[in-house]
Chain A
Amino acid sequence: MSTATTAIKAKQRPGDRVFSASAVFAGSMILVTLAAVALFLIVQSLPALVATSEDASILPDNFWSYVGPLVFGTVWAAALALLMALPVSIGIALFISHYAPRRLASLLGYIVDLLAAVPSVVFGLWGIGVLAPAVQPIYTWLVDNMGWFPLFTGPVSGTGRTILTAAVVLAVMVLPIMTAICREVFLQTPVLHEEAALALGATRWEMIRTAVLPFGRSGIISASVLGLGRALGETMAVAMVLSATGAVTFQLLTSVNPSTIAANIALSFPEAYGMNVNVLIATGLILFIVTFAVNAFARWIVSRRKEFSGAN
């Protein structure tokens, strides 16, 4: 960009040229990398899109009938996780930003961030070893007493490793990022709005309802969409906790559970060969497209509001 033009005022030393060129090069590497991710995935998955069960042994019929239940399971598990994580993360964010003592607030925020530091494989171990046995009696009770509710029909899973357990683990894993974004936007509520509400005699909850929540609405939306993106792509925790059979079912507590794309890849890839590898990569491509769209949507919402940066 600087080589052809002569209108530059400052003198261009060789060091300047090298440095700015390498900065531009590094920046372009981001574009190249994303393009390469898309390109290589597409190249590897093209043969799988037209494959039949004769070409690839894991296909029941054709590619789309294989990926359909997986897409359903991915979206279903992520939606359940989001449904549980959203109210809790708004609550935590409010607690840290408006309820906790000021001096404790940053420490409490750091403790919530610690959840994000736990590797997903450890969450998986914890989910099987602790969570699933702990919730199994609750599931039995739910099936016995609330079985009339369509989502809770039996027979109950004996291990507790159902889609609901996987969704709980997912919810715990997406909590930190959602809390961080909600907290950041809640903290940026104009103090004058809050004080005005309090001065008019509002209780703390009424102040939050009339000043903080309307201000933070776009932050809450983008937090939930980003959390959805994370939950869609989370692999190991689901792969380990969920005992999947690949069925399409909405029932939460039985031993018949849909699998997710990411978990299915992690479980099947080490033993895959030949065309099966391409089929799995093609499912990965679909996951990539879905999460890309979800994340782009979230960032678009964030970028409409330039005041906050959208924490990571």
Chain B
Amino acid sequence: MTTTMKPEPETATAVPIANSLTAGRLPTPAPWIILGTAIAVAASIFGVLALAAGAGYNWGGALVVGALLYIPSIWLFSSLVEGRRRAMDRLVTALVTGAFVLAMIPLISLTITVVTYGLSRFDGEFFTFSMRNITGEGGGIVHAIVGTLLMTGAAALISIPIGLMTSIYLVEYGRGRLAQGITFLVDVMTGIPSIVAGLFAYAVFAIFLGPGVRLGVAGAVALSVLMIPVVVRSSEEMLRLVPNELREAAFALGVPKWLTIVKVVLPTSIAGITTGIMLSIARVIGETAPLLIAAGFTASVNYNLFADRMQSLPVFVYTQYANQGNPPEAYLDRAWAAALTLILIVMALNLIARLVARFFAPKFGR
């Protein structure tokens, strides 16, 4: 490793200060050379270890150790050449970049895992069968998809009007203590643990319908408790972006306030509101705990929100994992395939939401 750094002092002495601005600094490619050397050293150490132990080569370990080795070495070389302050700067740059790379590891690992394991059962039967009367291999997720669509749809039906009207109240009407209180409580509501929302929905329905009740509509209520604050926050932000001149122009023409809101404010901000609503749906569609508590799980298709238990995709993933039968691989494969389906749905919602925001945003000016 020291060999990579030898040319530096030599060039500094051989060529008498070619450029005073770059003297006493590491050359631009130096960090990359040091990084490469560090990884190479770590890789060779791991190679020796792998030969000694007779085990397989650990690529991940070599990369991680190499990256860890880079952090003190860049500090050392920089402090030798550039002094203490620049060395600190380089050290922090390495650490900050390392933090970002570190956060990417789970994301990449998770994507690869879900795709590789999930594809083994990602077939036609998986999307055309339910789990009724199926033990062991086979079966599918029709009942879970139906339940997810019905419950998320019902939650959206409850949440969107309430959330949108609340944000209209906060932006257009709200003054004084009530508005302040609502803003504060919406913020706090975003932090309600999802399982508490499930317990709440269960408690409400259990008081009226007796204990042990599990209903699709209870799941929808639980989801809307989680969804309303997200809708309120995003719509509120979008409504505040509408220029006041538009409202004033409408008022000056004698348009009533409610028509101004319906015909001027909402159309201007509809793209942003749609994005926010889609993102909130993407958030609740992956919720497991509240549906496990409030809607339970079942193996059959249930189209009725107001009777009997209802399966959903995330709960399907959980129950397939938690109640493994024989052979266990069949259950795990189904869990991974359903997880892949779920992630695809969530990612599609996210993507469409961003596209809506980008292409349907209002264009001010001419």
Q: Which residues of A contact B (CB under 8 A)?
A: 10-11, 13, 15-16, 18-20, 22-31, 33-34, 36-37, 40-41, 43-44, 87-92, 94-96, 99-100, 108, 110-112, 114-115, 117-126, 128-131, 134, 172, 175, 179, 203-206, 208, 226, 229-230, 232-236, 239-240, 262, 265-266, 269-270, 273-274, 277, 280-281, 284, 287-288, 291-292, 294-296, 298-299, 302-303, 309-310, 312
Contact = CB atoms under 8 A, between A and B. Distances in A.
29 contacts: A18-B258, A23-B166, A27-B165, A27-B182, A30-B229, A31-B182, A36-B200, A40-B200, A88-B102, A92-B103, A96-B100, A115-B103, A117-B282, A119-B285, A119-B286, A119-B287, A119-B342, A122-B110, A122-B343, A233-B191, A235-B195, A273-B212, A274-B211, A287-B195, A291-B191, A295-B187, A299-B184, A299-B187, A302-B187
B274 interface: no
Contacts of A19: 257-258, 261-262
A95 B92 CA distance: 10
B237 interface: yes
B117 A129 contact: yes
A273 B63 CA distance: 51
Contacts, number: 292
A137 to B, nearest CB: 9
Given A40-B204, A120-B286, A288-B196, 16 more contacts: A26-B169, A30-B228, A41-B196, A88-B102, A94-B99, A99-B93, A110-B354, A118-B110, A120-B288, A126-B110, A205-B93, A233-B192, A233-B193, A236-B314, A266-B293, A295-B190
B225 to A, nearest CB: 6
Given A111-B104, A229-B191, A121 B203 contact: no
Contacts of B318: 121, 124, 236, 240
B193 A24 contact: no
A86 to B, nearest CB: 11
A23 B196 contact: no
Contact of B346 (A29, A88, A119, A265): A119
A126 B103 contact: no
Of listed A36, A121, A298, A302, residue having the most chain B CB within 10 A: A121
Nearest to A277: B211
A108 B100 contact: yes
A230 B343 contact: no
B89 interface: yes
Contacts of B92: 204-205, 208
B114 interface: yes
Interface in B210-228: 211-212, 225, 228
B28 to A, nearest CB: 15
Nearest to A233: B193
B168 interface: yes
Contacts of B314: 119, 121, 236
A23 B317 CA distance: 39
A112 B188 CA distance: 24
9 A-B pairs with least C-beta separation: A233-B193, A91-B99, A119-B286, A26-B165, A295-B191, A19-B258, A23-B169, A203-B89, A235-B289
Contacts of A203: 85-86, 88-89
A230 B191 contact: yes
B93 A204 contact: yes
Nearest to A130: B113
Contacts of A130: 109-110, 113
Interface residues of B, number: 102
B296 A91 contact: no
Of listed A24, A89, A229, residue having the most chain B CB within 10 A: A24
B103 A37 contact: no
Contacts of A229: 191
Contact of B106 (A172, A281, A287): A172
Contacts of B163: 26
Contacts of A36: 200, 204
B258 A122 contact: no
B343 A27 contact: no
Contacts of B206: 44, 277
Nearest to A232: B193
Interface string B78-108: 0000000110110111011111101110110
